[in-house]
Structure 1
């Protein structure tokens, strides 16, 4: 997977925006203004994804490519190295789960806004 494939995948999700709130190389994907994924556009080797805390620990034990979130809450975020022992399909499934975690925790009003997009 390359950065453009990942970017296209994220932007195809309902309500997703992209931006560079931290610096000129860290691309952040948000749904309804809440982060669910971020990566370095200059050096696309890993992706930070939000994860259920219990599942996050399981994935770290199971996959060498999954580590505690770099510069993120280690409890709620994983850093996934691309092109290692997790397939692109699996990484995209984890991206879906990250997106859904955010959507599920949105206030009712924001969920209604999202449903109208």
Structure 2
């Protein structure tokens, strides 16, 4: 929510939070999932690179266009800073 113009919505019900910028989704978080998972938009080439580098933590986007979205699994080898960077990158892709 600290990103400019970010808004929090729940269009898919109370179990998921969708963060949008300019009316478009950049982050989807399942709030009842353990471990925590979230979907972020990603440059297609970078998406593949991240999946190869972190095969247990970065997966093709669940219920999303797998070319443009990744599902991130917290606690599977990624630092908080890396996760935050992926969220900021997703925001930047959607905001432009």
Common topology (TM > 0.5)? yes
Cα separation, 2, equivalents of 1:54 and 1:14: 26
Aligned residues: 94
Task: Point out 4+ residue stretches in structure 1 off by more than 6 angstroms.
Answer: none
TM-score of the pair, normalised by structure 1: 0.77
Does 2:23 correspond to 1:33? Answer: yes
Q: Which residue of 8, 11, 21 maps to 2:11?
A: 21
Q: CA deviation at 1:43?
A: 2.3
Greater Rg over alpha carbons, structure: 1
Q: What stretches of structure 1 of length at least 5 have no aligned partner?
A: 1-10, 105-117
Residue equivalent to 1:95: 87
Residue equivalent to 2:2: 12
Post-superposition CA distance 1:50-107 (Å, at most 9, x none): 0000100000000020000000000000000011111110000010000000112xxx
Cα separation, 1, equivalents of 2:66 and 2:33: 22
CA root-mean-square deviation: 0.9
Query: Secondary structure at 2:90's aligned position in 1?
Result: helix
**Higher helix proportion (structure 1 or 2):** 1
Alignment of 1:23-102 (within 5 A): 23-43=13-33, 45-63=36-54, 64-102=56-94
Post-superposition CA distance 1:18-41 (Å, at most 9, x none): 111012111000001100001111
